[in-house]
Amino acid sequence: MRRRLLRAPSSLRTRLTAGLVVLLALACLAVGVTTVVALEGFLVGRLDQQLQSAQGKFAASLEQEAHPDGDNVPDTRGQSENTFGACIIGGRIQRAAVVKDRSDAAVPLTEADRTTLNHVPVDGKGHTIELTGIGRYRVVAVLGDESDTLLTGLPMRPVEETVSRMQLIEAAVFGSALLVTAVAGALWVRLSLTPLQRVARTATAVTQLPLAAGEVAMPEPVPQGDPRTEVGQVALALNRMLGHVGDALTRRHASEERLRRFAADASHELRTPVATVRAHAELALRHPGPVPIEVRHALERVQSESQRMSGLVDDLLLLARLDAGRPLARDPVDLTRLAIDTLDDARAVSRDHRWLLDLPLEPVFVTGDEHRLHQVVANLLANARLHTPPGTTVTLSLTDHDGLARLTVSDDGPGIPASILPQIFQRFTRADPGRSRTAGGTGLGLSIVEAVVIAHGGTVDVTSRPGHTTFLLNLPSTAPKPE
């Protein structure tokens, strides 16, 4: 809590206002201290002048009173009320008194008071002392006619009261000035920083834009104001940056659109010739006559590669359609039945793996495209089959909790290399970076998984370490369809 209280204010407006108030407070403090010191020095100087003009008359009358042949009548004429006088003969204080109602009154002195009076320099200058019975006094010591010391003093209380009153007045005036300055300064700083707040709002709006995908509409430029000011320069720099970012996003979007159209057009145009090559290869293999072994092998390779190329073209065309935002079918899909079918297909393709299925007691339904969701689960199972050795256990599980269908595909294989895990869902990402197709697929299977799941309003994630890899799909579930 203490650290939080001592923490500096975070906003620029608060810091500027606080700085203004602090500077004014320091200036007021300097003025107040200077004024009080000057006033106190002036008043003490006036006391010294009065004491010096008195020339020890009251103290001299006390000396005559103490003398055996004196008239024993102290001279208090012209002396101010509470004037102090004392005479010192041979280091001994003969008498000390103050003027009270035009007469003198003895002052009881302690040993400390006597020591203090004896140590007052006899230089005719004012010195401040404090006596037990009468408080603080300003005294002047001079030599008498008989080599004695005459001390005359005036009380410091009027000076102290005047200085204290001045301090109270200054505190009230400076406090009011600081309060008014704080309020007026806060309003002025807020008004001055209004253009900077518009800049901050515009920058915040830019950070909330989906700059990573799609066409982005940049916010309106902020008013530039006077370019000679710091706020105007910041606004000008921000507008220039927004212009550059907008141009870059427009070029990127145009490039992506051209690439997307090219992929869609190329995939569409390649489907027919690939299908034709595949059909002719199958027809040649069905020829009833004898076919040389070399020719048959070549035709089988042509058929195999045409099948693979046909699948690649279909995948590229599907991704192009999903990128274009084409809507998918919106029908009730039984994920339980879909999981059973896809696992049966995977078990039929590879009996070297151990396939496990974990399903809830009740069916789980989602709204979407059954064919594409079937492709998603099949791609995940095929990915586990292709990238794990024989004997690996692959588990397909399905749960439904709080309106969220969770489908996981886990295996106890060697895991995904950490170097490719961050970009596992990117297109053409393969565990084997080489160009060979002897192991693995084209690198589009997981890209299709992510694109289809996102199109259904879901999410897909992966965690992997040696001995355990899990792909997790989350899809919004719906109520079972009526019988």
CA 25 to CA 175: how far, in whole Å? 9
Residue 300, pLDDT > 50, answer yes
- The torsion angles phi and psi of 85, rounded to 5 degrees, stand at -145, 145
Q: Where in the sequence of the chain do the CATH 3.30.565.10 domains occur?
A: 331-478
Q: Highest mean pLDDT range out of 94-98, 266-270, 351-355?
A: 351-355
Residue-wise pLDDT for 3-61, tens only, equals 554 555 567 778 888 888 899 999 999 999 999 999 999 999 998 888 888 777 777 77
Specify the higher pLDDT residue, 102 or 475.
Answer: 475
Task: Please tell me the predicted confidence (pLDDT) of residue 264.
Answer: 64
Pairing label, strands 126-131, 354-358: unpaired
Residue 482, pLDDT > 70, answer no
Task: Please tell me the predicted confidence (pLDDT) of residue 438.
Answer: 47
Buried b or exposed e, range 275-287, using 16+ CB within 10 angstroms: eebbeebeebeee
Pairing label, strands 92-100, 103-106: antiparallel
Buried b or exposed e, range 310-326, using 16+ CB within 10 angstroms: bebbbbbbbbbbbbeee
Q: Highest mean pLDDT range out of 44-53, 317-326, 406-415?
A: 406-415
Residue 78, pLDDT > 70, answer no
pTM above 0.75, yes or no: no
Pairing label, strands 393-401, 84-89: unpaired
Q: Where in the sequence of the chain do the CATH 1.10.287 domains occur?
A: 210-326
Task: Please tell me the predicted confidence (pLDDT) of residue 256.
Answer: 67
Closest C-alpha to 455, from 399, 332, 373: 373
CA 345 to CA 378: how far, in whole Å? 8
**Percent of the chain whose predicted confidence (pLDDT) is above 70:** 84
DSSP line for 289-353: S---HHHHHHHHHHHHHHHHHHHHHHHHHHHHHHHTTPPPP-EEEEHHHHHHHHHHHHHHH-SSS
Domain 210-326 matching CATH 1.10.3470: the answer reads no
Q: Domain 331-478 class?
A: alpha beta
> Mean pLDDT throughout 241-269?
71
